[in-house]
Amino acid sequence: MPHKMTLTGSATGPLREYDRYVAFDMREKGSPSAPKGLKKSTFISYTVFVAKKAFNKTGLTKKSIMHEKILIQGEPTLDIPLDECPGEIGIICFQITVLPNKNDKESNESKDKKEAQQEVTATKQEEKQDSASQPVAKEAKQESKTIQPEVKETPVKEKKAAPQQKQLPTQPKGTQDIVSFDEIIVPEAFLKTRPNPVKTEEVVEFVKRTGHLDKPLTIEKGSKILKDGYRRYIVAKTVKMDKVPVVYEYPKQEG
pLDDT given for residue 37 in this prediction: 82
Q: Looking at residue 109, what is its pLDDT?
A: 67
pLDDT tens profile 78-123: 888 888 898 889 999 999 999 887 665 566 666 777 777 777 777 7
For domain 177-249, give the fold.
Answer: 3.90.1530
Q: Do domains 5-103 and 177-249 have the same CATH topology?
A: no
Q: What was the pLDDT predicted at 164? A: 46
Mind listing the pLDDT tens digit for each residue in 176-188?
A: 999 999 999 999 8
Instruction: Quickly list DSSP for the chain.
Output: ----EEEEE--SS--EE-SSEEEEEEEE---SSPPTTSPPP--EEEEEEEEHHHHHHHT--TTGGGTSEEEEEEEEES-S-TTT--SSEEEEEEEEEEEPPHHHHHHHHHHHHHHHHHHHHHHHHHHHHHHHHHHHHHHHHHHHHHHHHHHHHHHHHHHHHHHHHTSPPPPPTT--EEEEGGGPBPPHHHHT----HHHHHHHHHHHHHHSS-SSPEEEETTT-BEEE-HHHHHHHHHTT-SEEEEEEEPPPPP-
Please state the rounded mean pLDDT for residues 46-63: 92
Q: Determine which of 2-16, 91-105, 156-170, 199-213 has the lowest per-residue pLDDT on average.
A: 156-170
Q: Region 148-175: what's the mean pLDDT?
A: 57
- In this prediction, residues 12-27 reach a mean pLDDT of 92
What is the mean predicted confidence (pLDDT) over 154-159?
52
* Reported pTM: 0.41
The arithmetic mean of pLDDT across residues 192-203, rounded, is 89
CATH of 5-103 among 2.60.120.260, 3.40.50.720, 2.40.50.140, 3.90.1010.10 = 2.40.50.140
What is the average per-residue pLDDT within 153-169? 48
Domain ranges, ordered by start, for the chain = 5-103, 177-249
